[in-house]
Structure 1
Amino acid sequence: MTDTLPGLGGTLIDRMGIEILHASAERTTGTMPVAGNTQPYGLLHGGASAVLAETLGSVAAMHHAGPDRAAVGIELNVTHHRSARDGLVHGEAVAISLGRTLASYAITITDDDGRRICTGRLTCLVIAEPPA
């Protein structure tokens, strides 16, 4: 589904191996491989979890903004609970608040066994037009 979202090809999303599985303003899901996204100890890099969280929330906010507006992240918070060494991590962004100018999401990231890896919160500003 990543290929069907405008502007996502050739971006960090591609380089991280993120795949968007479902996208709507209310709920967006996706996966990311652990392989290639680790720190030197072989554990999933905390920054990679943050990238997945911001990606899922931003894609959801893009859907909320609609075709004539854009959504840009203005605040991201992540808490790391545990790490992963292999497989995929699975993320879900669920809308907390969908306003005219702000959209906020709670993001949960789990491993292949359903154990929570990371919890995040993203707030996006909805702007009149995409940034140049």
Structure 2
Amino acid sequence: MSDLVNTLGIKVVSLSSNESIISLKVSDEIKQPHGIVHGGINAVLAETAASLAGAQNVPEGSTVVGVDLTTHHLQAVKCGTLVAKATPLHVGFNLQTWQVEIHNDDRLTSVSQVTLSRVGNKDHH
């Protein structure tokens, strides 16, 4: 896992080529000055969840990187655990688009769309 994932304490709950679920416990370290989770955390969780699953869809020697991210913050979060679930909208040879929903308990708090680009060994189909 990346340093950011470890630094924040993001946990992988489940991972496959067509879904990933990750979680992050809310702490003061991820809040903005008004006591709610910083919006950037939603973006980090969305791109991380999409990238983990997206990487399962490319051959060895390749990986994926985020090239576009749109995040909508729907509800403020102050405590509990954030759970991000990524599901594919499109998985192509070079581009993948994923939808990520973030829940806090059973409340939908954020939705994102993440586009990933394949990088690395592109010679094999």
The alignment's TM-score, normalised by the length of structure 2, stands at 0.91
1:66 counterpart SS class? coil
In structure 2, distance between residues paired with 1:57 and 1:79: 16
2:46 counterpart SS class? helix
**Structure 2: stretches of 5+ with no match in the other structure:** none
Aligned to 2:34: 41
Instruction: Answer whether contact 1:32 1:88 (CA < 8 A) is retained.
Output: yes
What amino acid does structure 2 have at the position aligned with 1:124? L
1:49 counterpart SS class? helix
In structure 2, distance between residues paired with 1:27 and 1:86: 25
Deviation at 1:68, TM superposition (A): 2.0
1:116-127 to 2 correspondences below 5 Å: 116-127=108-119
1:1-132 to 2 correspondences below 5 Å: 8-9=1-2, 11-35=3-27, 36-112=29-105, 114-129=106-121
Aligned to 1:5: none
What amino acid does structure 1 have at the position aligned with 2:68? E
Aligned length: 120
After the TM superposition, which segments of 4 or more aligned residues of structure 1 sit over 2 Å from their partners?
Answer: none
In structure 2, distance between residues paired with 1:49 and 1:33: 13
Larger fraction in strand? 2
Deviation at 1:128, TM superposition (A): 2.8
Deviation at 1:69, TM superposition (A): 1.0
**Structure 1: stretches of 5+ with no match in the other structure:** 1-7
1:15 counterpart SS class? helix
In structure 2, distance between residues paired with 1:92 and 1:76: 15
Instruction: Answer whether contact 1:24 1:64 (CA < 8 A) is retained.
Output: no
Provide Cα deviations, 1:50-108, integer angstroms capped at 9, x if missing partner. 10011000111111113221111100100000011111011100011010001110000
